[in-house]
Structure 1
């Protein structure tokens, strides 16, 4: 049976839960906000099926792609609303046009990230754009299997470990299944994400703490005032992307105004913690699916460094690196209307090393989670953990100096 002793040995893919014939495994949230399988030993028959579908215990072989491309969607509107080059939408639309089903990650009404499916092009909007939070797979693997057995084409997108979990769950290859993963840096804690949003709501009415950066304080009455969240808004460009909220807030006269609030990624506190590897899932520091081990048909990601490799393609609106891993993936690509140039694997991993190497844990990760359950302010905690002591002392000294000068001039007027 599944027994998680070291948490780095569970990526939370949910395959064991869905494959258990006795339904005796449930996912429960730990103190870090991640879900882990817990077995009810009273009903477990020790059949071992849960272990056979675990992508950590049954890792795939390292691979190299058959072809590599730099690519983007010729539709500028879709491209600008996508994290990089908008190629996911092209892949998904091709499947929808053939009567297929597309699975991806979206936000629910409470801004949690879940896996879901759509059968329409309009439904793809919710899947577009990065979500830097681990998604809940839920019943998705079972739904995929049902559609496949009905003869429907299915495109499943997810993290490499989720793709590996799906392939193991299905236990056989399906000609009508296409899997697409992405170059994954790691998945932040859903619990930390929830705490971050709750703190933004709790700041309502505090004039010193307007939400993100805005000329006037914006008061959030509830999480439902948020109408859109973008981890990779391109208002400052693809390379200097912003974390953005779109709010629908009362104007005091019975109507609501739409307000865009954003911060560059290196100034937003949640993104700073994510990019510093402060609250990633433990398995992300020893990822079982690097080097294309997931078994995906296609891998997509940002083509960082494109300005050094193909400067003529770089307009700062986003370029995908796209890896064709199987002949089946190549057949899908051949039917798309996309803008592309051939590239090579070594160049991609030179600028996006996360494809082949797991990130290292932040040295203060344990300290962060030790304080996480006790803190009154997650935002303050992240800032305190990540700010170097010498810099903090310098800022404190500068603040005291400014105050002294101010009061000196005030007394001597």
Structure 2
């Protein structure tokens, strides 16, 4: 996420992070490089220039040249300005209305249908909403089928009228259906086009007027950079939408859309899509994103994701097993499943301060645990419960069954026993103690 921009900003600020003499000249040179980094990220020239002018004014106003840590102060000023550029404050979604109607708009290929499903899943699981998905794309043959597949995957009803080619009628009928069937939230997936055209704009405008949604979200493919910003402006002029959704942020995106869309349309980014899974949706926090762009990680979001998967009852059972030295490979496998539910691995690593930069050239995918899982699943129930019984002949059988080598089996066993020993040493708190420590970090994270 924003790897190229992060690298270039890090290089630009590197001189000022050191202990060399800080002068007005090298501050100006640094900000010139910052501007270049923003331009390379597909940020509009005017916005990039205004950004560096504001940072310079604040730097000189705070006597950055004479402060004890001028480099750190400059990094803070750039971070604060990045957060402000992306909106400053986090914007929530409006869930008033009976039912709440959320209208999704955007060009074809922006990820609108998939994100409609992600948002429905988010509102169902995080906000306890009864959601109805509505297929109002009457042009793309696979659109309704795609939405139905998504709905089945997340256990949410999809309203569709295959024979009806009037999207306004479909939207109105869907809202009536929601009222009659106890659904308090309606998400309408509308048609997109390959480019902005009069027919598309007229249609989305007619739907908007007919259903009067509480929330209109414009979905943007962040891979399209500045083009996405221009498209957003055209839609906003017509719909006056409430917020922006940035999809495909897990791709090799330059970041121009995320950085500038707020300043162009004056509407907040509300959500981001960070992967293919239905759980890969995050509320957009400008300050946290600024931290990640500057390589500072995002521990708060990492802790929040961990807390979502944290089960106190399971933690108590696990603690008892550790105390009795009964922690086995089934428990280990369960812990792996909990980690995988937190999101894609590369995104999680990027949340750890410094780790994203250190592992930027390492390919971390969602199959990172595949070999470990294969080894564990090739063990017998006895071997999983009593790992100490695994001798040379058993290792050979496990390696053959999992398609791995004896060396890899030995390595996993060594790591497992080391981890078990460490967990035993942590007794008196165990997993709960670790989570309490993480919660403490969340509540009192040091600020730049």
Do both share a fold (TM > 0.5)? no
Instruction: Say which structure, 1 or 2, has more relative contact order (CA 8 Å, 6+ apart).
Output: 1
In proportion to residue count, which structure has more strand? 1
Structure that is richer in helix per residue: 2
**Larger gyration radius, structure 1 or structure 2:** 2
Provide TM-score, normalisation by structure 1.
0.29
- What TM-score do you get using the length of structure 2 for normalisation? 0.27
